[in-house]
Amino acid sequence: MTPPRNSNAARDIAYALHPYTDHKAHLQNGPLVISRGKGVRVFDEQGKEYIESVAGLWCASLGFDNERLVQAATDQMRKLPFYHAFTAKSHEPLIDLSEMLIERAPSPMSKVFFANSGSEANDSAIKMIWYMNNAIGRPEKKKIIARLKGYHGITLAAASLTGLPANHKLFDLPIAGFHHVSTPHHYHNALPGESEEDFATRLAEELEQKILAEGPETVAAFWAEPIMGAGGVILPPAGYFPKIQAVLKKYDVLFVADEVICGFWRTGSYWGSQTLDIQPDILVCAKALSASYLPISAVLVNERVFQGIAEGSSSVGTWGHGFTYSGHPVPAAVAIETLKIYDEMDIGGHVKKVGAHMQAQLRARFADHPMVGEVRGTGLIGAIELVADKDAKRNFDPAQKVGARLTKLGEQNGVIMRAMTNDSIGFSPPLIISEEEVDEMLNRVAKSLDEVMVQVRRESLS
């Protein structure tokens, strides 16, 4: 259907180049224009209501109408709308937020660097590691190992960390020096009969072999999300991270935890690193740091990494890295207010309770569904993976676009969903969601799933 001339939809088609969008299809179908939000819901320009089952992009942790965050931004804009942090300038929001993050870190951290997005934070962390290793006289130690299906962003280096074909193939990526080891997904990648523990041991051995093949003196860091998010909400097998960390320690390879999705209670602990038993040397966070009311991300580094950077900036010269908006006072003020709200409302206690309910409901409703191969998750992050053959764990042919069709039906039924690779449907609602809202959300998901199943069955008969 062609949208009316001069409508928002028509003007969007005429002028907007969207992230992660099939543009040929978009020219035909147009956008879903969202115009306002309330609680865990958003409303389109016709007033139709949707439950946001992924909090936008895993990020609107406090929902869509928090007045305290509006007030924090307004107050800061009136007081000091901008100042920077170059050449030792500072301001109170940057100082307060740095202190709060260091106090909350899952392992001993020393300093915080701010950026505007998860990608920028990951790029910054890569550059810190390279800079540090140059400064301390080991310029050959630069290679980075990440994981297939990991997601770390889309700038050139962050996209190189990412382990998904869509982010590499047509972009001539990854750049040199970035390597990927296997996805720790027991459901698909374990050998027949292999226990989680044995699978984890095998993955740690694979990492060790990779480090030895490249030469330990050339490998600088290992990058991981505690739970893989955009790659399909993949939880590692039991014992995985302790085994991985033992290998990294042996060869003096830094562990960088990308907490962009998992940070701030998403997994039921303050950090995903705590849920998954990780003691990172560097931690990257964003999204729920400011409840996504304004863009801000952070890189926390331990004392050793900081000393390397300090060494470089005094012996080599300027630490030539930083963004105009690194530590911008307005998003920093919103982040401070966000962290205070998390503490005051005991969002952790809430996530543990409602998260347990969501996990139980996901399993009760979908584990036996003929189209669902695996239900997985913890806290308020989860996924169902759609399969063509449940016994063989065989996914649908991507050409069938089953996940995309499900999300389209979801929109009709009032739930915004996210389909990822292998038709995994992710759930990561605002952390403030209630048990009743979880039920309402999953009712809409279940209805949509049954409708897509009717479509798929009809096609296989014809």
Residues in the site for ligand PMP, rule: CB under 6 A?
A: 57, 117-119, 122, 151-153, 225, 229-230, 258, 260-261, 286
Could you give the angle at which helices 329-344 and 347-366 cross, rounded to 10 degrees?
80
CA proximity to 219, closest of 207, 232, 233 = 207
For residue 158, the minimal CB distance to ligand PMP (Å) is 7
CB nearer ligand PMP, residue 117 or residue 424: 117
CB nearer ligand PMP, residue 312 or residue 403: 403
Sheet holding 219-224, edge to edge: 111-115, 297-301, 282-285, 254-258, 219-224, 143-147, 178-181
Please list, residue by residue across 334-362, b when 16 or more beta carbons sit within 10 angstroms of its beta carbon and e when fewer do.
bbbbbbebbeeeebbebbeebbebbbebb
Residue pair 389/396 in contact (Cβ under 8 Å)? The answer is no
What is the length of the chain? 462
For residue 14, the minimal CB distance to ligand PMP (Å) is 26
For residue 347, the minimal CB distance to ligand PMP (Å) is 19
Copy the structure tokens of residue 370: 């003929």
For residue 231, the minimal CB distance to ligand PMP (Å) is 9
CB nearer ligand PMP, residue 265 or residue 366: 265
Residue pair 380/266 in contact (Cβ under 8 Å)? The answer is yes
What gap in Å lies between CA 84 and CA 101, rounded to an integer? 19
Q: Which residue is nearest to ligand PMP (CB)?
A: 118
CB nearer ligand PMP, residue 260 or residue 442: 260
CA proximity to 237, closest of 268, 203, 205, 269 = 203
Residue whose tokens read 């069709």:
405
CB nearer ligand PMP, residue 21 or residue 412: 21
3-state secondary structure of 156: helix
Residue whose tokens read 């389109």:
44
CB nearer ligand PMP, residue 161 or residue 409: 161
For residue 421, the minimal CB distance to ligand PMP (Å) is 14
CB nearer ligand PMP, residue 133 or residue 167: 167
For residue 127, the minimal CB distance to ligand PMP (Å) is 15
For residue 295, the minimal CB distance to ligand PMP (Å) is 7
What does DSSP say about strands 424-427 and 381-386: parallel, antiparallel, or unpaired? antiparallel
